[in-house]
Amino acid sequence: MYRTHTCGALRLQDSGIQTTLAGWVQTIRKFGAITFVDLRDRYGITQLLLGEALTKQLEENPLGREFVLQVTGTVQERSSKNPALATGDIEVNATSYTVLNKSATPPFTIQDDTDGGDDIRMKYRYLDLRRNAVKKNLELRYAVNRAARNYLHGQGFMDIETPFLIKSTPEGARDFVVPSRMNEGQFYALPQSPQTFKQLLMVSGYDRYYQIVKCFRDEDLRADRQPEFTQIDCEMSFVEQEDILEMFEGLIKYIFEEVKGIAYTEKVERMSWEDAMWQYGNDKPDIRFGMKIANLKFPGYAFPSKQPDLAEGLPQGFKVFDDAETVVAISVPGCSEYSRKQTDELTDWVKRPQIGMKGLAFIKYAADGTVKSSFDKFYNEAQLKSILNAAAASPGDLVLILAGTEERTRKAMSELRLEMGKRLGLRKDNEFKLLWVLDFPLFEYSEEDNRWVARHHPFTSPKPSDIDIMISTSPEIKDAASYLAHPYASIKANAYDMVLNGNEIGGGSIRIFQRSLQEKMFTALGMSHDEALHKFGFLLGAFEYGAPPHGGIAFGFDRLCAILGGSESIRDFIAFPKNNSGRDVMLDAPSSIDVKQLEELSLILKDQ
């Protein structure tokens, strides 16, 4: 037996017992003839006292950081206790030790506050993983994994594995492809998700399926995305949207309780996609704070059912507003005393290329009721007050106003709202707010291809009330200018996203389960009959053999862990992540392969 205890186990009541520990040398401190060593393993740190009897051994073979030691000795009370350590009341007075393995000097300190930068820690990820901070994240990840499995198992879900080598059917993201040696000139693809397999499992009668599964998407890596990531992937038969919402609200609440000890007892709020865009400029609003958008002016096509928040419309006379398609505002509480410098800084903030606005207008509504704006020249006080009113501003608020084209302006306001929420400390790490966003549009228009694309994926069913529109109308679009008038633009999907603190943590839909409607969907997406058969013949075929009504959802497991861990980066919660260029810097992958391998695969590289 290598050890009798772990480095996190011993306490004062163990004083006097003999123990053998094994672990890594974290620090070495010499005091005259005595050497103190902090020995670390996965469970904690225990102080070792190496006394005079061991001096000779220490001198002949000095210890170094990260050496692997086996130590035997007696547990004793420490003279200077360390309340920060669980084992801080004791130390092990060593009688003997063995160096099980030496270590080169590590390239960074293996401590909570390390001196290692991101790149070096990724290169030596196996050392980074020894650090407490990273270990805690992986422990949390495992706790989420366990909780998810417990809950789903308890609800009768069955974990069924689906293949990784599948057929390339890009729709949405780009596929990673794998050449087949045995089938010359042919390729597998890695799944972007197990979507069609889980639907086939429903056809097979496995009415509650789940899998915690890797998905692969060859996307340009925007901030904090990974080319391979993990989903909690689920599917159910004989369900309607309401059944799914309840089941998976239950899952997330269970995870909160098990992992964070949070009893999330309130009902999860629900919001239509249109209201989310209208009130927050975003389909995944952070509802931990208010600061909702006031819609002072907007194009009718964007929100046919909405009225502007200004009853008389926006006053004329200020060219920036007069010429804009959309004018939106937020009231930022308690900021009416912002200095010129502060408003200039905010103006620069919205002008950054990522936000892309030309400027920022504002009204300071002082606590004593006085009103001062950046466009006083153009509006009189009554007009300014009408805006304050529309923006539901209170004395003490700073009203920020953006004007421009609909999409960009709304998006910019959404960003500005989040930024102000952050600056005012309204986005608290330890507060969790769930939200269901419902009633998404089924289609999006792709200007590049002048055709419809599926907003979620092509297997998502339209709302029952919109199925007729889809069946009876031709998908043809005359030109980019007229797509909004097309009946397809108004079709709503039977789809839902779960949002946590402004992050989409899950999304899914009720599926199409009739061959004819699925074929219609493929046609709507511009696929010919032959193409649909070539890509999805297996699914269309399966729908001929008694496919049950079904629906499902998938949660972004890495993201969920990061949010629960109070971090913005999913990389911190993945044992071996890739960097922003999709590289594994530890393995140095991707990399070139041997000529022989290329030959076996019948591949010739273009430049060789």
Contact positions vs ligand ASP (CB under 6 A): 193, 195, 507-509, 552-554
Which structure tokens are listed for 215? Answer: 């998905």
* For ligand ASP, the closer CB: 234 or 524: 234
Q: Please give the Cα distance from 108 to 121 (Å, whole number).
A: 8
Burial class, 62, CB count within 10 angstroms (exposed 0-12 / middle 13-18 / buried 19+) = exposed
* For ligand ASP, the closer CB: 525 or 553: 553
Minimum CB–partner distance for residue 506 and ligand ASP (Å): 8
Minimum CB–partner distance for residue 521 and ligand ASP (Å): 14
Identity of the amino acid at 436: W
Q: Strand pairing of 18-31 and 34-41?
A: antiparallel
* For ligand ASP, the closer CB: 421 or 507: 507
Q: Please give the Cα distance from 395 to 402 (Å, whole number).
A: 21
* For ligand ASP, the closer CB: 410 or 457: 457
* For ligand ASP, the closer CB: 173 or 392: 173
Minimum CB–partner distance for residue 248 and ligand ASP (Å): 10
User: What SS3 state is found at 539?
Assistant: helix
Minimum CB–partner distance for residue 232 and ligand ASP (Å): 10
In sequence order, what DSSP letters do the residues of 54-98 get, joined into one string?
GHHHHHHS---TT-EEEEEEEEEE-SS--TTSTTTTEEEEEEEEE
- Contact predicate 508/494, CB 8 Å: no
* For ligand ASP, the closer CB: 404 or 552: 552
**In the chain, how many H helices and how many E strands?**
16, 22
Minimum CB–partner distance for residue 552 and ligand ASP (Å): 4
Minimum CB–partner distance for residue 392 and ligand ASP (Å): 36
Task: Provide CB contacts within 8 A for 93, sequence distance 6+.
Answer: 49, 51, 73, 74, 75, 76
Tell me the sheet residues that pair with 40.
Answer: 24, 45
Taking alpha carbons only, the member of 408, 413, 426 closest to residue 362 is 413
* For ligand ASP, the closer CB: 46 or 195: 195
- Contact predicate 471/517, CB 8 Å: yes
* For ligand ASP, the closer CB: 393 or 493: 493
Minimum CB–partner distance for residue 508 and ligand ASP (Å): 4
Q: Which residue is nearest to ligand ASP (CB)?
A: 193
Taking alpha carbons only, the member of 141, 95, 98 closest to residue 556 is 141
* For ligand ASP, the closer CB: 193 or 409: 193
Which structure tokens are listed for 551? Answer: 């629906």
- Contact predicate 135/129, CB 8 Å: yes
Minimum CB–partner distance for residue 514 and ligand ASP (Å): 18
Minimum CB–partner distance for residue 231 and ligand ASP (Å): 6
- Contact predicate 181/601, CB 8 Å: yes
Identity of the amino acid at 279: Q
- Contact predicate 369/330, CB 8 Å: no
Minimum CB–partner distance for residue 163 and ligand ASP (Å): 15
> 18-52 in b/e burial notation, b at 16+ Cβ within 10 A?
ebbbbbbbbebeeeeeebebbbbbeebbbbbbbee
* For ligand ASP, the closer CB: 504 or 584: 504
Q: Please give the Cα distance from 344 to 341 (Å, whole number).
A: 5
* For ligand ASP, the closer CB: 294 or 505: 505
Minimum CB–partner distance for residue 215 and ligand ASP (Å): 6
Burial class, 607, CB count within 10 angstroms (exposed 0-12 / middle 13-18 / buried 19+) = exposed
* For ligand ASP, the closer CB: 470 or 554: 554
* For ligand ASP, the closer CB: 281 or 507: 507
Identity of the amino acid at 498: M
* For ligand ASP, the closer CB: 505 or 554: 554
Task: Provide CB contacts within 8 A for 265, sequence distance 6+.
Answer: none
Task: Provide CB contacts within 8 A for 222, sequence distance 6+.
Answer: none
Minimum CB–partner distance for residue 207 and ligand ASP (Å): 15
Minimum CB–partner distance for residue 399 and ligand ASP (Å): 38
Tell me the sheet residues that pair with 373.
Answer: 363
For the chain, how big is the Rg over CA atoms in Å?
Answer: 30
- Using the Cα atoms of residue 56, residue 57, residue 62 and residue 64 in order, give the sign of their dihedral: negative
Minimum CB–partner distance for residue 28 and ligand ASP (Å): 50
